[in-house]
Amino acid sequence: MLARRIRNGPASGRSLCDRSRRRSGNTVTLLTMSTLPSRSFGSVGVAMVTPFTPEGEIDVEAAQKLAVSLVDDGADMILLAGTTGEAPTTHLPEKQTLLREVKDALAGRAMLVAGAGSNDTAHAVRIGVGSQEAGAQGLLINAPYYNRPSQEGVYRHIMAVVEATDLPVMIYDIPGRTGVKITDDTLARLAEHERVLAVKDATGDVEQGFERMEATGLEYYSGDDGLNFAWLTHGASGVVSVVAHADAHSWREMIREVDAGDLPGARAVAQRMRPLVRAIMGGGQGAVMAKEALALQGRIPSATVRLPLVRATAAEVAALRGSLEAAGLL
C-alpha cells in the first residue's frame, strides 16, 4: 500500500497542466490550475551518449560539444553514464573525467546527473561517491540487474547509494532491463528519504505511475520516448529522453504546450515525433541509433560503440536517415 508523503513547497507533479479546456456548446472555457509539477531535475533531460574515437577511447571534446549543443536545443538536464552512455563498459575514472569536462563546458547552464547503476552494491556506492567528487549534481539509481534480489535487497541496495552521498536522487524503474520490479511498498519506503525526489519510469505503465506519483509525492519523468505525451498529460514533471539527441527542441515545445494547457498542440508534437521515435527506439538499440543519428547530423565525429554493442546495419542507418530528412533534421 502506498503512503502519501506531503512535501513542502511546490506541488509534486500532481497537476496535469496549467490550464485545461471544457467545451460547452460553442464556448470554450479555460480552467486554470494553481501549479505546475515541481521539477527538481529540470523538464527536458537527455540520457547522453558517450562519444568515442574510432579506436574506442572516450572523446572528451566531442562530449563537451555535444552536451552544449543539447542544451542549446532545449535540454536543461544532462544525464551522463547511464545505460545510453554505455555505463556498463565505461570505468569509474572515465566517468569522472567525463563529468568534470562536461560540467566545465556547460558552465551551469543545465543540471548534470550521473548514473550510479550496478548489480554490485559496493561498486554502485563507489560510482555514486566518485560522481559527486567529479561534480555531479544528482544521481540516477536503478534496481540491481541480473541477480534479481528480493524487494528488501532492492531497497537496501538503492538506499546504500542514496546514503553514500548528499546528492538528490532519481530512482530508475526499468524492470525490462533489470529483471526486477520496484514494488509499491518498496517505492513508498524509498520515498520517505528526503533526498529521493523523483522517478524515471520506463515500465510502460502510465496508470501505475499516475497512482504512484499521487500516493508518494515523487516527481515522475518519462523514461520512454514513445509515451512522453501520455506521461506529461498525467502530471509528469518532464522527460529523460534518448530521442532528444536528434531533436530536444520538440520535447521542449511539447512541455511548453502542456504547461499552457494546449493539449491539441502537444499532441501534434507527439504525432510529428512518432516516426523519429520509432527510428531511434523501435528496431535498433537506443544508444547505437542515437549515435548514428548524431553522426548523420555531423554532431559527433564517430558513431563508435564498445562491445558488446555494435554499429547499426546499413539498412537501419538508411531508414534513420530517411526519418531525419523527413523531420527536417538533416
Residue 290 in grid coordinates: 542515437
Pairing verdict, β 19-24 and 27-32: antiparallel
The answer to whether 240 is annotated as binding is: yes
d(CA 313, CA 202) in angstroms, rounded, equals 26
Pairing verdict, β 138-142 and 19-24: unpaired
Q: How many other CB atoms sit within 10 Å of the CB of residue 270? A: 21
d(CA 202, CA 225) in angstroms, rounded, equals 9
* Residue 200 annotated among the catalytic residues of the structure: yes
The 3-state DSSP class for residue 194 equals: coil
Plot region of 287 (φ>0 → left; ψ -120 to 50 → alpha; else → beta): alpha
Tell me how long the chain is. 330
Q: Which of 95, 103, 172, 221 is catalytic?
A: 172
Q: Which of 200, 220, 221, 291 is catalytic?
A: 200
d(CA 160, CA 163) in angstroms, rounded, equals 5
* Residue 103 annotated among the catalytic residues of the structure: no
The answer to whether 90 is annotated as binding is: no
Binding residues: 84, 240
Binding residues for pyruvate: 84, 240
- Residues noted as catalytic: 172, 200
